[in-house]
């Protein structure tokens, strides 16, 4: 705690020194946090910056996976009108840094000791060529299942820990007259479930298939089983799932229209915003078979080189990395802090569980970047996986055909 207090004091001093030079500065922030829980979390950062004299020019681009935002960003940069700060994930940060488009945050990072408190797995994306180019605001883990407590109780009351138990619970929910699996038919949402199913086949298989991109793992019998399980999950989705946004699927679970949702921990923000209480109104578990392992993504703010003094960008980066902000933001957002020195006192049951799971996975070598969310492989590979997974989920090919096509599509994308 002494170290955390010292870093907080250092951060405050740096922020004050930046603020002394800020006059009528502003940041234009491109992001895709548009759901209720996301907007509430983002407002914490907006208010913090405005208290320091920096105006916030909001540029939201709806779309939970960020693909639409990245399309808008490319058009803006091509037109010579880059935003000052952009929400980004994983390999997208590295791609823009390699183009020389991002600003340098080394001075604020050094002054505040980011190297000492940001996990190496995140720094792999925050840094490029040894230079800090982005400030990580959180760590999301993606292999969660969110369950309506009343629906679970009606289905027997035991949270599933294995695939067979998961199927049994969903069968009971279906028999009770509700949709077992609340889901939105968008490629990134199906890929999020796919990530969890792959991980449930074992850490070694996830490493081989999603990170090493081993063609034998991508096209083999275990991957056929993954697609078989995806087809089984498809049978528990309602007929109107196509195109549904993820937060609307969360609302189905919150309202008791669906029994569960397989989604990253940003879904927790929707439950909390609706006034729900963990273990009373909803249950949070790791996808059965993935206990002890975590797939993650990390939202970061990349600062674009906009050809002028970037005090406002540094001020924003400093605010993002402040321990007090990291706690306040992530309590609302549903994620966990990107710093290792933030206490868990203000977090609820699922937040504390998320922080403990992350620490355990990091210590045990079972912390993996999420393929679905751009932290396992470059965008070209991720998009190839999306295409195959969604086509299969919509019944366009068999499991055997999907595994064969997945190996071929990844090979073509590399």
pTM over 0.85: no
DSSP labels, 298-365: -EEEEEB--SS--HHHHHHHHHHH-HHHHHHHHHHHSSB-SSTT---TT--HHHHHHHHHHHHHHHHT
Residue 89 banded pLDDT, cuts 50, 70, 90: confident
DSSP labels, 161-188: -SHHHHHHHHHHHHHTTSEEE---B-HH
Taking only the tens place, the pLDDT of each residue in 231-279 is 999 999 999 999 999 999 999 999 999 999 999 998 998 898 899 999 9
Q: Are 183 and 262 in contact (CB under 8 A)?
A: yes
Q: What percent of the chain has pLDDT over 90?
A: 71
Asked if 2-140+297-354 and 141-295+366-413 have one fold, the answer is: yes
How many residues does this entry show for the chain?
Answer: 414
Residue 41 banded pLDDT, cuts 50, 70, 90: confident
What torsion, rounded to 10 degrees, do the Cα atoms 143, 396, 410, 385 define?
-30
Q: Could you tell me the residue ranges of all domains in the chain?
A: 2-140+297-354, 141-295+366-413
CA dist 300 and 309 (Å) reads 21
**What is the CATH number assigned to the segment(s) 2-140+297-354?**
3.40.190.10
Q: Is 116 exposed, middle or buried (0-12, 13-18, 19+ CB in 10 A)?
A: exposed
Residue closest to 147 by CA, chosen among 266, 263, 248: 263
Taking only the tens place, the pLDDT of each residue in 46-58 is 888 888 888 999 9
DSSP letter at 235 equals: T
CA dist 413 and 410 (Å) reads 5
CA dist 126 and 120 (Å) reads 9
Superfamily of domain 141-295+366-413: Periplasmic binding protein-like II (3.40.190.10)
Task: Report the phi/psi class of residue 66: left, alpha or beta, with left for phi > 0 and alpha for psi in -120 to 50.
Answer: left
């Amino acid at each position: 705690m002494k170290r955390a207090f010292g870093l907080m004091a250092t951060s405050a001093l740096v922020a004050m020194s930046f603020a002394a030079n800020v006059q009528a500065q502003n940041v234009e922030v491109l992001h895709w946090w548009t759901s209720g829980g996301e907007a509430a979390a983002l407002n914490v950062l907006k208010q913090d910056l405005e208290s320091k004299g920096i105006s916030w020019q909001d540029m939201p681009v709806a779309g939970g996976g960020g693909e639409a935002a990245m399309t808008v960003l490319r058009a803006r940069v091509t037109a010579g009108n880059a935003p000052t700060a952009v929400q980004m994930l994983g390999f997208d940060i590295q791609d823009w840094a390699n183009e020389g488009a991002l600003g340098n945050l080394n001075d604020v990072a050094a002054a505040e000791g980011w190297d000492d408190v940001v996990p190496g797995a995140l720094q792999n994306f925050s840094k490029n060529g040894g230079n800090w180019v982005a400030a990580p605001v959180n760590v999301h883990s993606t292999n969660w299942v969110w369950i309506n407590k009343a629906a679970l109780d009606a289905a027997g009351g035991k949270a599933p820990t294995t695939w067979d138990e998961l199927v049994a619970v969903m069968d009971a929910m279906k028999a009770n007259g509700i949709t077992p699996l609340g889901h939105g038919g968008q490629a990134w949402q199906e890929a999020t479930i796919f990530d969890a199913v792959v991980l449930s086949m074992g850490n070694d298989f996830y490493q081989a298939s999603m990170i090493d991109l081993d063609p034998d793992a991508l096209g083999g019998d275990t991957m056929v089983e993954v697609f078989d399980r995806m087809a089984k999950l498809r049978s528990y989705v309602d007929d109107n799932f196509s195109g549904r946004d993820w937060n609307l699927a969360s609302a189905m679970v919150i309202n008791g229209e669906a029994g569960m949702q397989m989604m990253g921990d940003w879904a927790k923000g929707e439950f909390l915003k609706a006034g729900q209480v963990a273990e009373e109104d909803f249950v949070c578990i790791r996808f059965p078979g993935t206990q002890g392992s975590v797939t993650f993504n990390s939202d970061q703010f990349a600062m674009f080189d906009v050809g002028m003094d970037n005090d406002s960008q540094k001020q924003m980066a400093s605010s993002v990395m402040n321990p007090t902000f990291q706690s306040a933001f992530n309590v609302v957002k549903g994620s966990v802090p990107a710093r290792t020195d933030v206490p868990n006192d203000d977090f609820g049951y699922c937040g504390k569980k998320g922080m403990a799971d992350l620490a355990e996975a990091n210590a045990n070598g079972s912390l993996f970047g999420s393929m679905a969310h751009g932290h396992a492989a470059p965008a070209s590979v991720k998009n190839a996986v999306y295409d195959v997974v969604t086509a299969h989920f919509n019944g366009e090919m068999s499991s055997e055909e999907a595994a064969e096509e997945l190996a071929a599509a990844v090979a073509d994308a590399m």
